[in-house]
Structure 1
Amino acid sequence: MLPLLLILATFVRIHAHYTSGDVVYHPMPHFWTGVGFCPAGQIDHVGITFALADPALRYNLRQIAALPVGAVTHIRIHWLLELIQFWQYDPSGIPIYDFSKFDDFIDFLHEELRLSPVVEWMGNLGGVFIENPMQQSFYWEHLVKSTINHQIARHGSSRLVNWRYETWNEPDLHGYNKLNFTAESYLDYVQAVRRGLSKAGNLDNPDGKLQLPMYRSLRGPAGLFKDLSNHPLCWNLLKLCSQRVVYCPIDVLTFHRKGIEGTATEIVNGSLSLMAKIYEEYPSLKQLPVANDEADPVAGWSTPREFQADVRYAVTLMSMVMQFWHAKLAASPLSKLESISHDNAFLSYHPHEFTQRTLLAHFRMNETQSPHSQLIQKPVYAALGMLAKLGNRAADVELVNMDTKHSVEVLRTVSNGVGGPGQYMATIFLSPEEAGPKMTAFHHKYTLNMSIANESAFITELLVPQTTDPYYVWQQEGSPAYPNATLREAMRKAQTPRLYKTGPIWQYNSELVINSASIPLPWAMLLRVCSASWPKLRRPQQLSIAEVTHREVFISWMEHPKSTQCLLSYEVWFKERDNNGLFADWLLISRGWHLPYPSFQYAPGDKGSVNGFYKVRGVDVFNETSPYSQIVEYLEL
């Protein structure tokens, strides 16, 4: 067992609301819930349609969506608009589009995954824009308006409430600027997109009264903002906006700042430096919210790097969130930060299954009877799940010295309720991203400052090298290209945070002592404290069974957003149907697994069957269970 010492002891009660001693809590939206990727293959309707219909890619997205509720809310996919196919011009020369492939994918995102798209208005649908350079502005306005109106007609405007809209990705780069924008034509394009968004929507109420369209924010310019001579398009847009901000076509200023050496500090400092430069040049833009929607440790997702395979990437991402939060509170150039996003939703490929910048390791099993894909969740995937458990109010980041060079980052959060902030607390402890093997023992007394009037319980989960590192498990077995079922199960048992300690808290207030002297670096710990009066676990919803391969299924379900903070683990139950239609007793197929996230991959082996009925329930820190989910039958064809 990992040598982490937890001691809960009584101390003098402190009466506080949103403050504990000198700790002040601020409203904290979960601003890090975006992911993104670029589909592989040819950039046209056929290529993008093929790429986004790939079963392996859909399986990858299904697993990303199976993180705890709120961990990932938006997905930003380059060239998504190419799913819309140009059909023909009408007699007046206006393009007519076929939205069927776009609709199919959007339905998959919404109805099966509950993810919202970030629609980048970029593409050259059937060559329409290149063939009609003098009509580009009109055609963009028409496409934007038509796309939104089409979705409203299918499902109503409520489906689009959480969508995000962004201008062309990194338009100053030749690899992206496929319409050969000039400074003038680019500004015309952005204004046209803004008009299309403003005009989209149903203007007629059933009672015949005029209704103004819903206002839809436009994000942009999604630029790198290097020197003006090489990146004039994005800088010119900011110049235009600075002249009359009230008429600026963008509502959220988006930029891209990645690291160079792979550290969170680089990313945050680079973002601070860029925004300081922008505000120095255009001070009137300080009123716009800003977003770094490609905040990654290093550019080049496909370049293999060892740190991207293990706990180091997980700690880097979590540290980045914490440092951005600190910068947002510090009245810095990032005080208007709205969100950050990570480009790590790619599908990795051999021989870099773990080491590319992805959330999951992808094994293409080409030697099976029917080739298929196997996915293993990396520690960075688990990190997103841990961040999802944070409360809705947070203190500033604390630094606790380990030695003269290194500090542990501590982020305390609480959630409000009838009984005040003590009803739910979640704290992340984070070791340094990079640290040597010889360090002073970390022995930190952490004050919980609970203000509660009833029973509470705590739970701690850890991410540590080797123990919660499927990459290490794979390497120990020789890194096979086609891991067998035994190795895949071993990797999956190491892919979630390790449950360390859980138990009751009987005192009004307690303190926690953490001794990490023998824990290998780097590590992350999530501490949750729950009051018995916190909402009880609700019934898991939308249980889904998806085929992986013969006799293997991926089981996932949806969580209620306000009832899983105190979750300990899930239980997955199965009742087998044999060839004669007879049923066995219900079997707990997840026995021995720690399942803090809403998914489970079931592979009973050659002698077992996946045919039958499935149900799921949650268990909380008080060992109370939720109602079972709806029972779902699965039949392998």
Structure 2
Amino acid sequence: MRNLVPGHPSGRLSDAWRFCVGTGRFELALRRDYQDSLALVQREIGFRHIRGHGLLSDGMGVHQPYEHAGARHVRHSFTYVDQVVDAYLELGIKPFVELGFMPSGLASGDQTVFWWRGNVTPPSSHREWADLVKATVTHLIGRYGLDEVRTWPIEVWNEPNLKDFWQDADEAAYHRLYEVTAHAIKDVDASLQVGGPAISPGSDEWMTRFADFVTERSVPVDFVSRHAYTSGPAQHVPFGVHQTLRPASELLEQFGLPRRQLAGGPLAGLPVHITEFNSSYRPDNPIHDTAFNAAYLAPVLAAGGELADSFSYWTFSDMFEEVGIPTALFHGGFGLLTHRQVKKPTYHLYAFMARMGDQLLTRGADHLVTRDATGRVTVLAWAPVDVTGGPPVDGHTVRLSVPMGDAVSAFMLRSSVSEEQGNAWTAWCEMGRPRSPHPRQLDILREAAEPVRSHRNLPMTGGFVELDLTLGRHEVTLVELTAVVDETPPWWDDSRILGLGEGIA
């Protein structure tokens, strides 16, 4: 059956998918490979904000206590913060500020998380924590201007509903931290955006209790945030994990949950930011490297903007060290890119989305169709995936009648990634999974990572182009259609390209 695409836009396509992207801890941005990777992502995709952990952890050196004249003092140092934020802004991306983790000199305990030991205990002094928050925000405003920093959402902590990320998952202690932090931020300037509670899946009732708390205490809140993942418990193997997956539709369910929970209450209508999402919550799950991941997430990118104001892919790069330094180029990292800028299939899903128009024509279970201001029509289509482990569908067909106006024909450019095409992970496996590819191997992997492209001139009938897209295993494809204006000179004859035919002596 062929789907008829309407000729008139049904609305604007949300770009909530590009509002924010995740990153490894803040200090990693000082490294060359990180900045090279982010520059590539910004050229070809163009995210607006970036969020990661560790702004206030010891590695950034912001909180530096010292003794002088028999008294304790604190110097707030922003040497590294300035370098990181300067680099971000030069690349056209703004911080989505996450306040955490606890500096060791201000921590009430020694519990840490991750290989790099972010402290996850409450502050030993809420007054000193408030001073730290005020100093940080005041510095950012002084360096970058109030009008700029007003556009940076400020989120309080990360996943406090998990014992690994907040000591004992103490909800009352988090509420106290949020209250102190929100007031400290608003004391600097009331127009700054502050929100939370940045919860992980599994403790959804935290959101409603957070809403009750801030309402009863008149605590400022400008947005709410949570995370979304669909993977099951980790099945550990050396240097990696395997996990089951629930259907991708459950990601959309999680995206929409905050609005459903807050409907009818005082926080109804606040922006909802999904500040982390992916298939797996582990940075060592090989699913992230595969074409499966791209096809799995395609319907989420296509529809997620109807449910949340942003949803931030976790993360843009494999430059990420929560479970230690990676031991191989492909290691199941979260990134759209590996180290050394090898593109994964999910990278291309995002790059395809970046080439789509902003006028939504139609959306279906396996396709998204848009138009831009020039009249160019774009079709994103994806093959279905089976999270139960069944064989990938090969030969899935998407049939569309696409409106193109009064032209005689349309030029079609098709770009595809799948199990066999545009898939550096497959090439790496066939190469023998070299842990540290030498330069020639890296060149091969980068070439293998590029989408396969084809082009055709398609006839039009009654203002429509008939598309029949047959998709390979776990394929995601982008079709770009532009009306042809034929400027072939009247004397030209392609059959004479070898000099044969009329006029030969």
1:225/1:235 contact within 8 Å kept: no
SS of equivalent to 2:453: strand
1:473 aligns with 2:427: yes
Code of the aligned partner of 2:309: E
- In 2, the alpha carbon distance for the partners of 1:464 and 1:135 equals 52
2:418/2:474 contact within 8 Å kept: yes
TM-score between both structures, scaled by the size of structure 1: 0.62
Code of the aligned partner of 2:6: S
Query: What is the aligned partner in structure 2 of residue 267 from structure 1?
Result: 251
Q: CA 1:242/1:455 → structure 2, altered by over 3 Å: closer, same or farther?
A: farther
Aligned counterparts, 1:404-553, within 5 A: 409-416=366-373, 423-434=375-386, 442-451=396-405, 457-503=411-457, 509-516=463-470, 519-530=471-482
Query: What is the aligned partner in structure 1 of residue 75 from structure 2?
Result: 96
- In 2, the alpha carbon distance for the partners of 1:186 and 1:441 equals 51
1:237 aligns with 2:237: no
Code of the aligned partner of 2:158: N
Superposed CA RMSD: 3.7
Aligned counterparts, 1:319-468, within 5 A: 319-325=299-305, 328=306, 334=307, 337-344=308-315, 345-347=317-319, 349-351=326-328, 353-362=330-339, 374-399=340-365, 409-416=366-373, 423-434=375-386, 442-451=396-405, 457-468=411-422
Query: What is the aligned partner in structure 2 of residue 26 from structure 1?
Result: 11
Q: Which of the pair has the greater relative contact order for Cα pairs under 8 Å at 6+ separation?
A: 2
- In 2, the alpha carbon distance for the partners of 1:414 and 1:172 equals 42
Code of the aligned partner of 1:220: G
Code of the aligned partner of 1:391: G
1:194 aligns with 2:182: yes
Code of the aligned partner of 2:222: D
SS of equivalent to 1:144: helix
1:445/1:511 contact within 8 Å kept: no
Query: What is the aligned partner in structure 1 of residue 21 from structure 2?
Result: 35
1:160 aligns with 2:149: yes
Which of 269, 272, 294 is 1:314 aligned to?
294
Deviation at 1:222, TM superposition (A): 0.3
SS of equivalent to 2:276: coil
Q: CA 1:458/1:133 → structure 2, altered by over 3 Å: closer, same or farther?
A: closer
Q: CA 1:196/1:455 → structure 2, altered by over 3 Å: closer, same or farther?
A: farther
- In 2, the alpha carbon distance for the partners of 1:478 and 1:528 equals 36
1:458/1:505 contact within 8 Å kept: no
Query: What is the aligned partner in structure 2 of residue 298 from structure 1?
Result: 280
2:163/2:169 contact within 8 Å kept: no
Deviation at 1:455, TM superposition (A): 8.8
1:127 aligns with 2:115: no
Deviation at 1:30, TM superposition (A): 0.8
Q: How many residues align?
A: 446
Alpha-carbon displacement from aligned partner over 1:391-432 (angstroms, at most 9, x marks no partner): 223245223xxxxxxxxx111122346xxxxx2322211110
Q: CA 1:449/1:122 → structure 2, altered by over 3 Å: closer, same or farther?
A: same
1:361/1:377 contact within 8 Å kept: yes
Query: What is the aligned partner in structure 2 of residue 64 from structure 1?
Result: 41
Q: CA 1:481/1:98 → structure 2, altered by over 3 Å: closer, same or farther?
A: same
1:255 aligns with 2:226: yes
SS of equivalent to 1:381: helix
- In 2, the alpha carbon distance for the partners of 1:494 and 1:181 equals 45
1:354/1:471 contact within 8 Å kept: no
Code of the aligned partner of 2:141: I
Query: What is the aligned partner in structure 2 of residue 633 from structure 1?
Result: none
2:383/2:472 contact within 8 Å kept: no
SS of equivalent to 1:196: helix
2:160/2:170 contact within 8 Å kept: no
Deviation at 1:100, TM superposition (A): 0.9
Aligned counterparts, 1:193-232, within 5 A: 193-200=181-188, 215-224=191-200, 226-227=202-203
1:81/1:102 contact within 8 Å kept: no
1:241/1:285 contact within 8 Å kept: no
1:60/1:347 contact within 8 Å kept: no
Alpha-carbon displacement from aligned partner over 1:79-136 (angstroms, at most 9, x marks no partner): 123324224479997743011111111112222x222222111232352354998984
Alpha-carbon displacement from aligned partner over 1:504-551 (angstroms, at most 9, x marks no partner): 8787822222141xx431111112234689xxxxxxxxxxxxxxxxxx
SS of equivalent to 1:75: strand
Unaligned residue ranges in structure 2 (runs of 5+): 110-120, 232-243, 321-325, 486-505
Deviation at 1:273, TM superposition (A): 5.5
Query: What is the aligned partner in structure 2 of residue 85 from structure 1?
Result: 62
Q: CA 1:450/1:248 → structure 2, altered by over 3 Å: closer, same or farther?
A: farther
- In 1, the alpha carbon distance for the partners of 2:15 and 2:198 equals 21
Alpha-carbon displacement from aligned partner over 1:127-169 (angstroms, at most 9, x marks no partner): 2354998984443443333223222322323543542211110
Q: Share of identical aligned residues, percent?
A: 18
Q: CA 1:61/1:252 → structure 2, altered by over 3 Å: closer, same or farther?
A: same
Query: What is the aligned partner in structure 1 of residue 114 from structure 2?
Result: none
Query: What is the aligned partner in structure 1 of residue 94 from structure 2?
Result: 116
Alpha-carbon displacement from aligned partner over 1:172-207 (angstroms, at most 9, x marks no partner): 2232226x7854443232223222332335xxxxxx
Q: CA 1:491/1:98 → structure 2, altered by over 3 Å: closer, same or farther?
A: same
Deviation at 1:243, TM superposition (A): 4.9
1:382/1:495 contact within 8 Å kept: no
Alpha-carbon displacement from aligned partner over 1:240-267 (angstroms, at most 9, x marks no partner): 24558xx452222111121023342232
Deviation at 1:390, TM superposition (A): 1.9
- In 2, the alpha carbon distance for the partners of 1:497 and 1:300 equals 27
- In 2, the alpha carbon distance for the partners of 1:491 and 1:216 equals 44
Query: What is the aligned partner in structure 2 of residue 562 from structure 1?
Result: none
SS of equivalent to 1:80: coil
- In 2, the alpha carbon distance for the partners of 1:462 and 1:455 equals 22
1:441/1:515 contact within 8 Å kept: no
Query: What is the aligned partner in structure 1 of residue 161 from structure 2?
Result: 172
SS of equivalent to 1:267: helix
SS of equivalent to 1:353: coil
Unaligned residue ranges in structure 1 (runs of 5+): 1-13, 40-47, 202-212, 329-333, 363-373, 400-408, 418-422, 534-637
- In 1, the alpha carbon distance for the partners of 2:395 and 2:346 equals 26
1:190/1:249 contact within 8 Å kept: no
Alpha-carbon displacement from aligned partner over 1:352-385 (angstroms, at most 9, x marks no partner): 61533322233xxxxxxxxxxx341111111111
TM-score between both structures, scaled by the size of structure 2: 0.76
